[in-house]
Amino acid sequence: MRLRCSFAIAALVMAAPALGSAWAGQDPPKVSPYVAPPDVAAPPADSEKTASGLASKVVTPGTDTIHPKAADRVTVHYTGWTTDGKMFDSSLARQKPAVFGVNGVIAGFSEGLQLMVVGEKRRLWIPQALAYKGQPGKPAGTLVFDVELLEITPAPEMPAVPPDVDRPPVDADRRPSGLAAKVIRPGTGTAHPRASSTVTVHYSGWTTDGRMFDSSVMRGQSISFPLTEVIAGWTEGVQLMVVGEKRRLWIPQSLAYKGQPGMPAGMLVFDIELVAIK
């Protein structure tokens, strides 16, 4: 997601790999064969079944007691098969664990992960209704995954709504353009970005009623972009900053999205931390 003048507001959902799609439309890489489980065709009698239709069985017990939550990120190794024993995806084949948000994958995988603890290996039988629901190019029917949970990264705490989100305070710096700004934390640098600079930032944005509509902090990843490609209030406001500084901007609609359909309307409030200037 880039903060262009016409960007679509993120839904505050971490990006995640599309499980089962790594080799869609092509043969899997030439790797040592991963033998399908003996019970790949159907869950055994001793499997655990949930109300949603997911079945699972612990293959190797874990070493912890904490379960991932839907908003957390996880690091896993996994292999997936269709019920005829055909492997369609494997992080083991790529020799690299997968990292993604628990709520950013198919429903059955997300539900199954939340049953697990670190160190555990679990087999999931995911019915089509909790998998790809017949989407073209995706594996069909019940899918079987062996999943090993390696690490849980808790979701970041949601930034607090600024106490002055409804209007700029009296000590804000008011610019001729209509932009208002206030330093929340002084920076450590001395150089300011130019309008032509590319910057790396962390930010959160609210409407004046306190509704957060976007946040790199919640995604756990800073973002880089040229200042020529963002709304005018950002272009002006970020040029006031130095590296390490955190600043609050009150951006009037005329310097934001100007009533564009699908964009947040009215004055917008951003807390921005300038991480780097490129």
Which residues carry out catalysis? Answer: 78, 88-89, 106, 132, 145
263 DSSP 8-state letter: S
Nearest-CA neighbor of 239 among 209, 201, 213? Answer: 201
Residue 132: closest CA among 180, 181, 82, 171: 82
DSSP three-state, residue 155:
coil
Comparing CA positions, the residue from 151, 137, 149 lying closest to residue 56 is 149
- In this structure, the chain runs to a length of 278
Please tell me whether residue 145 adopts helix, strand or coil conformation: strand
Element (H or E) spanning 63, and its range? none
Return d(Cα 195, Cα 226) in angstroms, integer.
Answer: 8
Long-range contact set of residues 93-97: C-beta below 8 Å, sequence gap at least 24:
93/28, 93/29, 93/31, 93/34, 94/22, 94/29, 97/150
Q: Is 2 left (phi over 0), alpha (psi -120 to 50) or beta?
A: beta
Beta partners for 154? none
CA dist 226 and 205 (Å) reads 18
- d(C-alpha 189, C-alpha 22), whole Å: 43
Contact (Cβ atoms closer than 8 angstroms) between residue 274 and residue 201: yes
